[in-house]
Structure formats: C-alpha cells, structure tokens
Amino acid sequence: MSDLLANLNPEQLQAVTLPPVHALILAGAGSGKTRVLTTRIAWLISTGQVGPHGLLAVTFTNKAAKEMTARLSALVPVNVRGMWIGTFHGLCNRLLRAHYREAGLPQAFQILDSADQLAMVKRLLKNLNIDDEKYPPRELCHFINAHKEQGLRAAQAEAYDSFTQKRVEFYAEYEAQCNREGVVDFAELLLRCYELLQRNEPLRRHYQDRFRHILVDEFQDTNRLQYAWLQLLAGGGGKVFAVGDDDQSIYRFRGAEVGNMREFERDYAGDNIIRLEQNYRSHGNILAAANALIKNNQDRLGKNLWTAAGDGEPIRAFEAYSDLDEARFVVDEIRELVRDGASPTQIAILYRSNAQSRVIENELFTKNVPYKVYGGLRFFERQEIKHALAYLRLLTNPDDDTAFLRVVNFPTRGIGARSLENLQAAAHQTNSSLYNAAASLTGKAGQAVGAFIRLIEGLRQETANLPLPEMVEHVIERSGLTQHYRTEKEGQDRLENLDELINAAASFVDDEGAIGEGGALVSFLTLASLEAGEHQAGEGQEAVQMMSVHAAKGLEFDIVFITGLEQGLFPHDNSVNEGRDGLEEERRLMYVAVTRARQRLYISCAQTRMLHGQTRYCTPSSFLDEIPDTLLLRLNKRAAPEPVYGTGRRSTATRYEESPAPGGLRIGQTVAHAKFGVGVIVATEGRGADARVQVNFGGGVGMKWLALEYAKLTPC
C-alpha cells in the first residue's frame, strides 16, 4: 500500500484516499489527473472497499480508457479486462447488449457510424420526396443528434416555425426507420440506455447497487444527457468521483456544458473539492501566463497552477508584417532550434483555424523541414480543397476523368452510381473521356450530367479573362461548394480553407510574377499537386508537429509556437459574436494552447493577413494584453520600424509599447491626403518630429512614406 501512494503530492494523496463521498477534483493542466484516477481505483480495490466489478470508470476516448486499463493492471493484481472502464458510448453499448429485450432492440443490433447515419438520412429524404437542398442531409443529422444529446425525442422537440416543424417530422420518420431496421446511431446509444434505466426500476436498482463508486474523467466535457445518465446511476447511494478542469472546457460546439461542473458542486460535491494545482509539465513563466489569461473568465471554480521546476525562459513574442513573414519567422526559428539539438517531434505549431496551416506548410516545404499534420490532413489533401481543385482541373483539361468523377455529383445533382457506370461503359466503347461521352446518356441521368457539362463550360467562359485569384473564387462560388459547406454542422472550417485556397492563388501570382493567365492556372495546379504529394514526413521520421489548438488538447511538447494571435482569428469572430460565453471559451482555448508547452513558448501575430485574396489589416489579439509584460521577451523584427501610434491598448509594433501618436494614427487606418488621395497606413517609424508613416494609396500612386509633421493626413 505504501508503494501505491508513495510518490503522490499532498493534494493527490488527499484525493486518492477520500472516504466514500461525492467529490470534485479540479485537476489543472499537467497536474497528474490520470495518475490520480487510476491510483484512486487501485486504492479502493486494494483496501477492500470495492471489488473490480463494483465500480464504473468513464472516459471520453477509447485511447484514454486503454491507458487507464494498462496503468491499473500494473497497480493491482486483478484481471482488469472485465471491469466497466470505457467511454459513455462504449459502456452504454455494453449495457444495451446485456438488456436488448428490455431496450426494445434485436440481439444483434447494429451501430451506425456518422457515414452510415448520413447515408440513411439521404435515403430517407429520397423516399419521402423531400428536397435535400432545402433540408441538407448533414444539417438534419446535426439536428437529430443535438436533440438526442439534450434527451429529446421527436415527440418532445419544439417547432417554432414551419421549417423546424418539417425537420421535427423528419426526425420522427428517422426514428421509425431506425426501429424498423434495428439499428442505433451513436447519440441513440446513450439516450436509449438512459431511457431504459429511467423506466425500468428493477434494472436501475441493480446497477445502482452494483456501482457504488463511479469515477468520471474530463468531467468538463460532459453534455446534458451524460450528466443526467450519471445522476441516474448514482441515485441509489453510489458516490461520484468527478475529475475535470473547467478552464479546459473547449467543446461547447459539440454540446459540452461547462456549467455541469458548477451544478455538480452544488448538487453533490459540497465541500469535497480538491484542487490539483502543482504542474509537472511546464516552467513557471508559462504557467504564470496561463494563470494571468484565465483569471479574466468569470464564474470559474478557480485554481492557480504552480511548479517546483523554476521560472524557466521568458515567453518569446514576435509580431510579423504579414502572415508570410510570420511563417518565415516560425520556420527559421525551428531550423535554428533543430541545429541546436532540439528534437523536431518535440516542436509543435498551433493555430486556431486549420486554414492557417497552408502558409506555414508552404514555408516548411520550401525550407525542406519535415512535418506532420496531427489530427487532420495537410492543406492540399483536404476534401474541400481537392473538390475545388478538381473543378479547376476540368477547366484546363475536361478529359481528366479523375477530376470528373470527383465532382460530377458533388454537390449532389441526382447522378447515381448506375448512371456513372453507364457513362463509364459508353466512354470505354467509344474510347473517349467521360466528359465527351456525356452526350450518350439519355433520360433523367442524361439531363443531370448535361447540366454539369454546361456548368463547366459556363465556368470556362466566365473565368477566361479573370486573374487567377478571382478565377478560383468564382469557381468555388459558382460550383456550389460554398453553399454546400454553409449547411454543414462544422462547415465553417471548410469554408475558411476554401478562402485560404484563394489566398494561395494570390500568393502564387505574387511569387511567380507575370505569367499568362492560362499558364497561371496550370502552374498553380501543378504546385498544388506537388505540395499534396510530397514532403509529408514518413512513418518513424522525426518531424515538426502541426495542429489546431483543439487537436492539441491532451498533448504536450518541449517547444510550442502559437500563431495568428489577432483579433477576429484568435479569439475567432464567430465565437466573439456569441457574447461573453463565446469569448470565454476562446480564452479557455488559449489557456489550453499555452499549457501545451513544457520549456519554451512562442506567440506570434501579423499586421496583415490574406483574406479572399485581399490583404486584411489586423489588430493584435486581446489575449496578448492579458499576458504580463514581465513574462515576455520581445523579438525585434528585422529592420522593424518604430511605433508612432497609440490606441489605448498595447501597440502592434515590436515592443508592444503604449506610446502617444501624432493624430492618433495606427496601422490599418484609412486616411486622406490632399495630393495622393485616400490610402491605408501600412507601416510607421520614428517619434515626435521625426515620425513618419508609410501609406498605400493604390492605383498609380502606390506606397508613399510621409512625414507626419508636414503630410496633414486626415483620418477617414
């Protein structure tokens, strides 16, 4: 027993050895929560308080469940394979398999994954003759799952208008079809299990009596139905040991309710709250920055991370002129770090939006730095990008059968597999491309394929004289890709990637100089193919890790770069527009990003960033203001101009100093000049009588450096 508890700190020991009570363990980032959970289970078993089959442990991923089981098997001499340790869905599946009759399911009921569910919804829409453009299948899947996660059947769903009423009616039809086929989707597993326990008192009492100890990992990520399910199981006197961190609740878009922790404190835990604040991952300056950030959120349960490892290095802050300049800085810094002995696999580049990866990937590719995209695809391999490129390929070569098959029915045009088989047979007989064989199709299929051919021909004519970025933007819009992804639950990320493809086209033209427009598209498509097919690090090869902040949760690295810290990007406009709740979730996301770093942390932003192929002038993220200056090391930009402006917040120049500015001018501000007309301030330097600004007047005037003492610029 002494060996089991030997290396726990006082708070961990207190949590592990609690008597049988409801308890809330506030486990900060890097505080050893998995160790506490597994040691608690081992301690309960070793002291004879519960048998291996008398407790239930819930995790959020199968990976976490396997890790917990592996650790536990090393701590206690029992067979852990039969223990009830798993995800919510896995445990509910196990219970429903054991009681399928009571649950109203066939013994061999099948589970629909997300692709299966989408296919069923599409099939049902067709059978019911419902317009899938007005009621997109993916949006209906989201509607159904969201209601199930709230514990609401179709009969309980509210309809505020005729459109929602139609969706509710479809939900009812979907339920009936699933019951006819004897299948359940993922959301149904939990809801069906909850309903079974709720209505079947003998069964409920059996499991309440059996599971005297219920342990929950990542409690901050529970949704409303998951919490209700736990309450049912604990209703007979079982004790819930909930471990979580409200400061790391970042999945509100998936239904997670950070308020469940406050509710659990009120309903169950009472005074049994233990804070695990000693961090075993990061140096002190990194933790101090995280603490300073998160204290700005209201209604926290509250904790303050600390470490015995010392302050470590200051946080390195860099402001770039542009997103390209930011990417160059990050990659050049990584090359220096690797030359100095750092392991590439211990270096991570984080970004708020997946679309940001494209510029950084391009620079890594150019500088021959191996990298891997964690939890996602490299930019030119993403579904929406490959779709857009397929349309563009057909403009240059309509005989490209691969591109044709990729998008002929995407977005959906009612062209089925049988029609495509007939088309391929016709093409084979005439030894022609699918595009040229399209005229051979008759009937409804012929009309649908003919409409697609006319779309491509129309796009070719409409884009013939457009510059490359405008051509790409036009094709993305007219092809229907934009409208399609607007209807997806998480389509915003795909739309941002499509915007970034337009930026890639604009950057390509800038880099390549004057090329004929026909040649520009072919060259751009060649570049996309090369970047998609090469340079992803091979299995086992050391490589820099790239990922979104969401994907980084649960991971840690020696060196972390957090990029794109600009207002509207991080925090993201979509979240900020939701009010305080949205902004606070963004701040929690920033907190997660900061606490991924063990030894060295870089934070960077850019004054300008490409959006829709146009330059957007950016304001530094408000989160930068929340990190104390004493924790930061300002990295000077190469040949950086001095700041001359102040806006009541830290300036966007290298030193982030608040300095009074003549006329209150700032980068990104539109101004008027008596001779040159209207322009935008893009750079500043000097102070007082020596202050001057660089203004882009566009047209035939271009960039001008103007002394503020004489220029008499008027803000517009």
Query: Is 596 part of the annotated catalytic residue set?
Result: yes
Which residue of the set 34, 69, 150, 198 is catalytic?
Answer: 34
Which residue of the set 226, 248, 607, 652 is catalytic?
Answer: 248
Residue whose C-alpha is closest to residue 594's, from 649, 547, 557: 557
Using alpha carbons only, what angle is made at residue 533 by residues 532 and 536, rounded to the nearest 5 degrees? 85
- CA dihedral defined by 348, 351, 355, 357, rounded to 10 degrees? -20
Cβ atoms of residues 636 and 682 within 8 Å: no
Cβ partners under 8 Å of residue 12, min gap 6: 32, 35, 36, 39, 276
**Rounded Cα–Cα distance for residues 184 and 192 (Å):** 9
Which residue of the set 11, 217, 257, 277 is catalytic?
Answer: 217
Cβ atoms of residues 315 and 283 within 8 Å: no
> What does DSSP assign to residue 128?
T
Which residue of the set 281, 372, 382, 596 is catalytic?
Answer: 596
Query: Is 34 part of the annotated catalytic residue set?
Result: yes
Which residue of the set 12, 33, 212, 333 is catalytic?
Answer: 33
705 beta partners: 694
Using alpha carbons only, what angle is made at residue 560 by residues 316 and 340, rounded to the nearest 5 degrees? 80
DSSP per-residue codes, 251-266:
-GGGT--THHHHHHII
Query: Is 444 part of the annotated catalytic residue set?
Result: no
Query: Is 277 part of the annotated catalytic residue set?
Result: no
Residue whose C-alpha is closest to residue 210's, from 95, 97, 105: 95
Q: How many other β-carbons are positioned within 10 Å of the β-carbon of residue 150?
A: 16
Sign of CA dihedral 421, 426, 430, 433: negative
Residue whose C-alpha is closest to residue 53's, from 83, 29, 75, 97: 83
Q: How many other β-carbons are positioned within 10 Å of the β-carbon of residue 626?
A: 15
Query: Is 217 part of the annotated catalytic residue set?
Result: yes
Using alpha carbons only, what angle is made at residue 220 by residues 216 and 225, rounded to the nearest 5 degrees? 75
Three-state secondary-structure class, residue 515: coil
Which residue of the set 11, 149, 188, 218 is catalytic?
Answer: 218
Catalytic residues: 33-34, 217-218, 248, 596
